Amino acid sequence: MIALSQDILAEIAAQAEAEAPNEACGYLAGRDGVALERYPMTNADASPEHFSFEPREQFAALKRAREAGLELIAIYHSHPATPARMSDEDIRLANDPDTIYLIYSTPEDRIRGFTVTRDKRVLECEVQVTAETPR
Ligand SMILES: [Zn+2]
């Protein structure tokens, strides 16, 4: 399970809208399955159908999380025109079985979470949206 606040969800939705028709993406940093910070990232693919991170930005996000005593617990991206489910491309590119992949669908206004095993099985991960960001 992953918990994130309404505020973080609203920020993801706003970023998705701002970057449409391309996919928006980023990291959530936190601990113990609770997201505490959002790090928006550039979609290096600038594509409506897939995304990738810039290695330099990725390194900066990792550093920022470490300095805050947090871990990068989830990777999120938006689906500007399709439902919140893992596309074939998403599954293919999901190479960290310990990361939660969050997908926010703009048309559905919904976020769902998934993990992907090493043998590419997709498991749904419950997303709990909380009223406030816990401290
Ligand atoms: Zn996707």
Are the C-beta atoms of 25 and 75 separated by less than 8 Å?
yes
pLDDT tens for each residue of 9-33: 999 999 999 999 999 999 999 999 9
Q: Is the pLDDT of residue 78 over 90?
A: yes
* CA distances (Å), origin 118, targets 1, 69, 82, 91, 115: 19, 28, 25, 10, 10
73 Cα to the center of ligand 1, angstroms:
17
Report the candidate in 45, 56, 1 with the shortest Cα–Cα distance to residue 21. 45
pLDDT of residue 65: 98
| Domain assignments of the chain as residue spans, ordered by start | 2-130
Closest to 118 (Cα-Cα) out of 96, 90, 86, 85: 96
Q: From the CA of 133, how far away is ligand 1's center (Å)?
A: 26
Q: What is the DSSP letter of 23?
A: P
Distance 50 CA to ligand 1 centre (A): 6
Query: What is the per-residue pLDDT across 42-63, written as a single tens digit (0 to 9) for each?
Result: 999 999 999 999 999 999 999 9
Query: 46: phi > 0 → left, psi -120 to 50 → alpha, else beta; which?
Result: left
CATH code reported for the domain at 2-130: 3.40.140.10
CA of 53 to the centre of ligand 1 (A): 13
pLDDT at 132: 79
Q: State in Å: Cα 95 to ligand 1 middle.
A: 14
CA of 51 to the centre of ligand 1 (A): 8
Cα–Cα distance for residue pair 15/68, rounded to 1 Å: 23
Percent above pLDDT 70 for the chain: 98
Cα 78 to averaged position of ligand 1 atoms, centre (Å): 7
**Per-residue pLDDT, 134:** 63
Note the helical H segments in the chain: 6-19, 55-67, 88-93
